[in-house]
Structure 1
Amino acid sequence: MAQQLQFYWPPFTRNIKITLLALFVLWFASVMIAPLASFVDHYMLISRQAVLNQGQVWTLLTYALWHADFTHLLFNGFVLWMFGAELDQSWSSRRWWTFNLFCALGGGVTILLSQILFSTNFPTLGYSGAVMGVVAAYAWRHWNERLYLLFFPVTGKTMLLIFIALDILFVLTGREAISIAGHLGGMATGLILATGLWRPSRIKRAFIRRRQRRNLKLLRSRDPDPKKSDRSHLN
């Protein structure tokens, strides 16, 4: 039991190091170079106005590269390291970067849709969408397994629900300036990718099965009694 409760520090894998270093360099540069900070504010952050009115479609991804302050960056980096190292060890580099990209994009699209729905226009930034996608993939991998979250035993699916509940709590209490839409969009994208439901081959097989069932129903509607039809033909 003592070994189970021993705190585990994951390794700093290569892709985690690259991700954290790149995010830190970009944040530090935006703090130290005033023209860059102005450029980021005007052209790199996602909002309804930026995408729809100014045509800055690229902000659906570039918002993820920047952070408001060091605390924001530190939290995202810590969570990415804690839950992403195991995935990075078992995935190829291509899968790691593709997964992060799509989760960031999923978060960006969800942010845009939420701002359209609620008629808001808050510029949003941060790697949280990709980070929450990584958390969702980690939770799926341990969906019914026992994990220790701050020394409390939980399953993967319970851990994911806790993250969602914390997001909602922070928004309702106003304690953190986070985008719950980006978090939830990243989580949803991460789950879709981790479960494999997105794969074109599965979609194609499902489409073929549906078409076969439809054709079979059509044949039966034209010839409700195949045996009778056969007897008539013989006569």
Structure 2
Amino acid sequence: MQTWLKTFYRTAPATLLITGACIVLWIIAAIQARSLTSVFSNSELVHTMMVWGPAFEITHHWWTPLTYAFMHLDIGHLTVNMIMLLLIGREVERHFGTKLFVALYISAAISSGLLILTLDFMAPTAGASGALFALMVLLISVYRSRGADLRAPTVLVVVNVVYTFITTGVSLWGHLGGLFAGVILALCVGRKAPAIHWVGIIGLPIAAYLLYTALGM
């Protein structure tokens, strides 16, 4: 295990650190809630970190469009998302480099969080799924740049989109926001000019915030 962690850290340190942060924060929330399955309703940390329209507007929890992506609602939610993050994040980080990967992850998380506020204002939401949807799209870009078969990452995206529409209790706009963010970011980082990379990374959450101010509650 120790050897695996060292190897993983050398190749994808940000992915490992983000995963570790999510696990630690969830453990704290579970201890507060004294539960593995009802963390949402009984943890102050969850309430502080989740994205929710009234908290964002009334109590000025301005940080929540980012922090919600580091909090999960139960052990199953955490486990599935962290496995996906480890598998997908490692490939994306190795391809783009740690600095760009972190920027892409944060941009996608904030953008999907703001879309939740815009289109599902009253839905309290937490989880890395929005950022993970963006990473799935970016994984297609990674495969394409390598000249690899695109079927596997494409099927992964399609299956998760279908899952979003047929399953209750998931954040529709968080998932679709991450999907849309991933498409925009992939188009930007697919260009050779680094300036275009950063225009997309910085411009996307700004555009999402402007949409929120125009259409939000």
Task: Give the structure-1-normalised TM-score.
Answer: 0.66
**What residue in structure 1 maps to residue 110 of structure 2?**
105
**What residue in structure 1 maps to residue 24 of structure 2?**
25
Instruction: Quote the Cα distance in structure 2 between the aligned partners of 1:45 and 1:142.
Output: 33
What secondary structure sits across from 1:123 in the alignment?
A: coil
Identify unmatched segments of 5+ residues in structure 2. Answer: 1-6, 200-217
Equivalent residue in structure 2 for 1:162, among 155, 159, 164: 159
Deviations 1:155-207 (A, max 9, x none): 6445423321221111xxx3xx21121111112112211211798659x9xxx
Deviation at 1:100, TM superposition (A): 0.9
Which moved further from structure 2: 179-188 or 158-167? 158-167
Normalized per residue, which structure has more helix?
Answer: 2
Instruction: Quote the Cα distance in structure 2 between the aligned partners of 1:17 and 1:56.
Output: 27
Instruction: Quote the Cα distance in structure 2 between the aligned partners of 1:31 and 1:41.
Output: 9
Instruction: Quote the Cα distance in structure 1 between the aligned partners of 2:70 and 2:120.
Output: 20
Contact 1:142 1:155 in 2 (8 A): no
Deviations 1:72-95 (A, max 9, x none): 011111111222211111222111
Instruction: Quote the Cα distance in structure 1 between the aligned partners of 2:98 and 2:153.
Output: 24
Task: Give the structure-2-normalised TM-score.
Answer: 0.71
In the TM superposition, 1:126-141 aligns within 5 A as: 126-141=127-142
Q: Does 1:44 align with 2:49?
A: yes
Q: Does 1:193 align with 2:190?
A: no
- Identity of counterpart residues, as a percentage? 25
What secondary structure sits across from 2:43 in the alignment?
A: helix
What secondary structure sits across from 1:190 in the alignment?
A: helix
Contact 1:103 1:190 in 2 (8 A): yes
Contact 2:22 2:71 in 1 (8 A): yes
**What residue in structure 2 maps to residue 65 of structure 1?**
70
Contact 1:63 1:126 in 2 (8 A): yes
- Over 3 Å counting, the alpha-carbon distance change for 1:201 and 1:129 in structure 2 is closer
Letter in 2 for 1:133: A
- What do you get for the CA RMSD once the two structures are aligned? 2.9
**What residue in structure 1 maps to residue 170 of structure 2?**
178
Deviation at 1:16, TM superposition (A): 2.2
Instruction: Quote the Cα distance in structure 2 between the aligned partners of 1:34 and 1:69.
Output: 11
- Over 3 Å counting, the alpha-carbon distance change for 1:94 and 1:62 in structure 2 is same
**What residue in structure 1 maps to residue 90 of structure 2?**
85
Deviation at 1:52, TM superposition (A): 2.2
Identify unmatched segments of 5+ residues in structure 1. Answer: 1-10, 148-153, 205-235
Instruction: Quote the Cα distance in structure 1 between the aligned partners of 2:63 and 2:90.
Output: 28
Aligned residues between the structures? 179
What secondary structure sits across from 1:33 in the alignment?
A: helix
Instruction: Quote the Cα distance in structure 2 between the aligned partners of 1:41 and 1:17.
Output: 22
Contact 2:66 2:109 in 1 (8 A): yes
Contact 2:49 2:64 in 1 (8 A): yes
Letter in 2 for 1:132: F
**What residue in structure 1 maps to residue 149 of structure 2?**
146
**What residue in structure 1 maps to residue 125 of structure 2?**
124
